[in-house]
């Protein structure tokens, strides 16, 4: 193994060679979730190219993109080819990618094939976990089938080894917010395995795992508690310890105030013993978590920042978490407002920057982003 866990010195040397890592979490507007983005029949390079062009025009250098284990399972060769094509589309725009492999957020029981249509006005109504709650719990209680373990190991190592030396890949985010919903520290077994599989793959890029270390200030202030609020607060102390002891680059999510983001930057530097810090999710306009308030803090602190969302599409993340305050069941959202009453777009967008035609939600916001990233000034869209 050439690389192994990175030292503080190696991590900071790598970070000094990077431009400011500024960008967004990216899902094309034509996809409701990771499955629709990556399945062969719905992979949409034309939309991806157009929308990444808008990201590049903002001065973004980074996108964070979710993969899904099921797409690997049915078509590993085709999946790798589509990942390679995505990287080839992003690269001419000066954009490198952080890939996310597993995710505990939102709805369980992912299935291949045609994905559900968006529920009007509901935030992320079709997002699916990877690999899903049942499999995570099987790892926890020791009942996971041998073939399932082999499948997931093959997924992690197949993807990482294929792109282990690809300079278009900035970083690997092994697990997004492990322990969400009711899972808590019961995700620890799969997270530990993901780290082991990734280290065995020996990529040249740094590894991290985006444990949700934010508080719930933003949700409480906005009154936008999602349907899983409360249960998502299950203990994640073990997960946090795994993240802090293994990550080459310290990542965190923050949807709170400027004061809160400053606190977490300092905290991540302390627990990371001086390793580089990247905020891999932020932007919640309802509570003042804005580009104008947060990007200057990140830039002054030499911290990377990746906001949530780019184009208002099928994920509908312009709507707040409170748009699904209850559930029809464990796998499907219940809208807080009857769909027939949803017209147009919300007055204040929760996330995202552009409409599908490329016009910005807030032209002054776009002008600010271009200015702080150093893009050449131009007329507003």
Parallel, antiparallel or unpaired: strands 22-25 and 62-66: parallel
Task: Give the Cα separation of 247 and 11 in Å (integer).
Answer: 10
This prediction's pTM: 0.92
Question: For the chain, what are the domain ranges?
Answer: 8-373
pLDDT for the residue 375:
85
pLDDT for the residue 182:
83
Task: Give the Cα separation of 198 and 179 in Å (integer).
Answer: 19
pLDDT for the residue 213:
58
Domain 8-373 annotated CATH 3.20.20.80: yes
H or E element that contains 98:
strand 96-103
Q: What is the DSSP string of 184-215?
A: GGGGHHHHHHHHHHHHHH--SS-EEEE-----
Token pair in block for residue 341: 């009453």
Task: Give the Cα separation of 211 and 177 in Å (integer).
Answer: 4
Task: Give the Cα separation of 370 and 375 in Å (integer).
Answer: 5
Give me the residues of the chain with pLDDT under 70, please.
1, 213-234, 325-343, 376-381
Residue with tokens 């400053």: 262
State CA 290 to chain mean position distance: 18
Reduced to 3 states, what is the DSSP secondary structure of residue 325?
coil
Give, in order, the Cα–Cα distances in Å from 304 to each of 236, 282, 367: 24, 11, 20
Reduced to 3 states, what is the DSSP secondary structure of residue 358?
coil
Largest Cα separation within the chain, whole Å, is 59
State CA 294 to chain mean position distance: 18
pLDDT for the residue 325:
60
Q: Minimal CA–CA distance to 314: which of 3, 40, 24, 35?
A: 35
Parallel, antiparallel or unpaired: strands 250-253 and 277-281: parallel
pLDDT for the residue 336:
59
Integer-rounded Cα radius of gyration of the chain: 19
- Give the tens place of pLDDT for each residue, 131-160: 999 999 999 999 999 999 999 999 999 999
pLDDT for the residue 181:
77
């Amino acid at each position: 193994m050439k690389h192994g866990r990175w030292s503080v010195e190696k991590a900071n040397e790598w970070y000094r060679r990077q431009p400011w890592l500024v960008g967004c979490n990216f899902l094309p507007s034509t996809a409701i979730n990771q499955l629709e983005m990556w399945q062969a029949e719905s992979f949409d390079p034309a939309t991806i190219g157009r929308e990444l062009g808008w990201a590049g025009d903002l001065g973004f250098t980074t996108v964070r993109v979710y993969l899904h284990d099921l797409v690997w399972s049915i078509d590993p060769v085709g999946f790798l080819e589509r990942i390679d094509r995505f990287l080839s589309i992003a690269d001419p725009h000066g954009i490198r990618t952080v890939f996310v492999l597993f995710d505990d957020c939102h709805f369980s029981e992912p299935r291949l094939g045609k994905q559900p249509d968006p529920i009007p006005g509901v935030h992320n109504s079709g997002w699916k976990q990877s690999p899903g709650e049942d499999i995570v719990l099987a790892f926890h209680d020791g009942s996971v089938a041998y073939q399932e373990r082999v499948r997931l190991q093959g997924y992690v190592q197949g993807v990482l080894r294929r792109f282990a030396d690809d300079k278009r890949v900035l970083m690997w985010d092994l697990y997004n917010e492990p322990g969400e919903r009711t899972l808590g520290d019961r995700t620890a077994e799969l997270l530990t395995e993901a780290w082991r599989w990734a280290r065995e793959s020996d990529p040249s890029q740094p590894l991290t795992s985006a444990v949700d270390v934010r508080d719930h200030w933003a949700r409480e202030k906005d009154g936008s508690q999602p349907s899983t609020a409360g249960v998502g607060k299950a203990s994640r102390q073990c997960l946090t310890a795994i993240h802090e002891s293994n990550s080459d680059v310290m990542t965190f999510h923050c949807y709170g105030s400027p004061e809160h983001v400053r606190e977490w930057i300092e905290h991540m530097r302390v627990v990371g013993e001086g390793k580089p810090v990247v905020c891999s999710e932020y932007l919640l306009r309802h509570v003042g978590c804005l580009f104008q308030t947060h990007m200057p803090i990140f830039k002054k602190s030499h911290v990377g920042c990746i906001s949530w969302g780019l184009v208002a599409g099928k994920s509908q993340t312009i709507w707040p978490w409170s748009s699904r305050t209850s559930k029809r069941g464990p796998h499907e959202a219940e809208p807080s407002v009857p769909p027939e009453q949803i017209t147009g777009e919300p007055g204040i967008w929760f996330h995202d920057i552009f409409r599908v035609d490329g016009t910005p939600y807030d032209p002054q916001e776009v002008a600010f982003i271009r200015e702080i990233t150093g893009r050449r000034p131009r007329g507003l869209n």
